[in-house]
Structure 1
Amino acid sequence: MGITALVLLMAGLLMVAGGALVPRLLYRAATYAASAMEPTYARGDLLLFRKDPGEVRRGDVVLVTVGPVDGEEDPGGPVVERVVAVGGDTIAYEQGASRLTLNGRPLDEPYVKDADPTAGTAGPFSVTVPPGRVFLLGDNRVNSADSRYRLGTQPGGTVPVGQVLGVALPEEETLRTGVLFGWLIIAGVLALLAFVVLGVLWLVARRRRPAVQGPVWGTTAVEPPGPPLR
């Protein structure tokens, strides 16, 4: 029973520590507090970003630090924006067009609010994204201070991939990840409770176990040894 209790203790500590620490090492959690990514995300939504994604792709929603927008000195904290073009791509907008173009072809963006991908665009632009950088836009184009508004302060309004702090997990994966680590912590707590119960039972059993006594000389049960034989 004592060995089982110790195994439960070790397993419980590992599960609780894993459920609490591993997510902090692999992911970055943030509560969305803006409107530039509506309708994909609303204020108050909990977002989970995978750290060190290895590759940033078109369509990824990222947590990124950006430089100052025109007329602003302080860029503020990290922002959430969508990658629409990566190194080597050419993203463009012609005045009056209903859609942006990517490498000369109309860009399909079903995630954009009100199905209006050119809303809020001040004027035409054409940007060939330098290697190692990304062009970012918000899904709520009419209310997003994104790469379109950084054209004059950064190369083509783009941001270095190295400033991407994480890539957002899809909603389903976020839920699965939260449930997985949540159950891991619960299982660890249950294992620790089982350790406490078994430990108490083991101590009680040891106290109740009768002590083994040696022979008592001078009683009728055991006679003292006689004289040595000659």
Structure 2
Amino acid sequence: MVAGGGLAPRMLYRAATYSASAMEPTYSRGDLLLFRKGPAEVRRGDVVLVTMGPMDGGEDPGGPVVERAVAVGGDTIAYTPGASRLTLGGQPLEEPYVKDGEPTVGSPGPFSVTVPQGHVFLLGDNRGNSADSRYRLRTTPGGTVPVGQVLGVALSEKETVRTGFLFGSLIIVGLLALLASAVTGALWLVARRRRPPAVQGPVWGATAMEPAGPPHP
């Protein structure tokens, strides 16, 4: 589960504090994650923020979760009881990110799923404590999730640093612009107060003094 944050511009990115254990050791409780919103595609190996829906038993996770896309449209992902690894397209799947090096622990039974186009098959890195696609094999097509339910793709550490630097730079530029505007306004007020009052000429009218005429004889 994740808790939303407001540390990044909402139009492009979503920040969230991780509060579960399904993605250990990659992420731990309290880690701040940054997701790119509205991905056009999800690649194999991407960590995603996703709404998965209820499990086979009807239990609903209750909100967005963080999982890893281990297979995408057209892939066949499979598990045979007793095997030490999953297979992808018939070949053993290398998963160095899995906790304790146990990619098959927690699997409720065998499966072989060919992922439909536009879907992803999701697993947690902590396979022994992740309510992922393995527990939705009967609820959705092979436990897969439509890409449209993916709320964001997690940025890598390098991308997070680069994005944070960019946003920090934009904030500094904005603050400097505000400061410059404030200084300009203050100088204008000072200059206006020091401006000498305008000198007005004589007013001719009903109250003006008439010029003296010639003396009487």
Same fold (TM over 0.5): yes
Question: Which of these residues, 29, 32, 37, is aligned with residue 43 of structure 1?
Answer: 29
Cα distance in structure 2, aligned partners of 1:75 and 1:213: 79
Question: Which of these residues, 160, 180, 186, is aligned with residue 166 of structure 2?
Answer: 180
Sequence identity, in percent?
78
Q: Please, what is the CA RMSD of the aligned residues? A: 2.0
Unaligned runs of 5+ in 1: 1-19, 218-230
Deviation at 1:215, TM superposition (A): 6.4
Cα distance in structure 2, aligned partners of 1:176 and 1:49: 13
Letter in 2 for 1:87: G
Q: Is the 8 A contact 2:8 2:14 kept in 1?
A: no
What residue is the counterpart of 1:5 in the other structure? none
Question: Which of these residues, 35, 51, 68, is aligned with residue 65 of structure 1?
Answer: 51
Q: Secondary structure at the match of 1:25?
A: coil
What residue is the counterpart of 1:126 in the other structure? 112
TM-score normalised by the chain length of structure 2 = 0.84
* Greater helix content: 1
Deviation at 1:71, TM superposition (A): 2.2
Deviation at 1:183, TM superposition (A): 2.8
Question: Structure 1 residues 83-92 or 182-191, which shifts more?
Answer: 182-191
Cα distance in structure 2, aligned partners of 1:154 and 1:161: 13
Unaligned runs of 5+ in 2: 1-5, 204-217
Cα distance in structure 2, aligned partners of 1:168 and 1:67: 20
What residue is the counterpart of 2:80 in the other structure? 94
Deviation at 1:186, TM superposition (A): 2.7
Letter in 2 for 1:59: G
Question: Which of these residues, 135, 140, 152, is aligned with residue 154 of structure 1?
Answer: 140
Question: Which of these residues, 124, 140, 147, is aligned with residue 126 of structure 2?
Answer: 140
Cα distance in structure 1, aligned partners of 2:128 and 2:110: 15
Letter in 2 for 1:55: E
Deviation at 1:22, TM superposition (A): 7.8
Structure 2 CA distance for partners of 1:27 and 1:85, relative to 1, 3 Å: same
Cα distance in structure 2, aligned partners of 1:129 and 1:86: 6
Deviation at 1:179, TM superposition (A): 2.7
What residue is the counterpart of 1:116 in the other structure? 102
Query: Given the alignment of the two structures, is residue 168 of structure 1 paired with residue 168 of structure 2, yes or no?
Result: no
Deviation at 1:85, TM superposition (A): 0.6
Question: Structure 1 residues 205-214 or 37-46, which shifts more?
Answer: 205-214
Q: Secondary structure at the match of 2:158?
A: helix
Output one character per residue of 1:63-87: Cα deviation in whole Å (capped at 9) or x when no partner.
Answer: 1111211323434101110001111
Cα distance in structure 2, aligned partners of 1:68 and 1:21: 30
Higher relative contact order (CA 8 A, sep 6+): 1
Q: Secondary structure at the match of 1:167?
A: strand
Output one character per residue of 1:69-122: Cα deviation in whole Å (capped at 9) or x when no partner.
Answer: 132343410111000111111001111111110001111111111111111112
TM-score normalised by the chain length of structure 1 = 0.80
Cα distance in structure 2, aligned partners of 1:82 and 1:22: 22
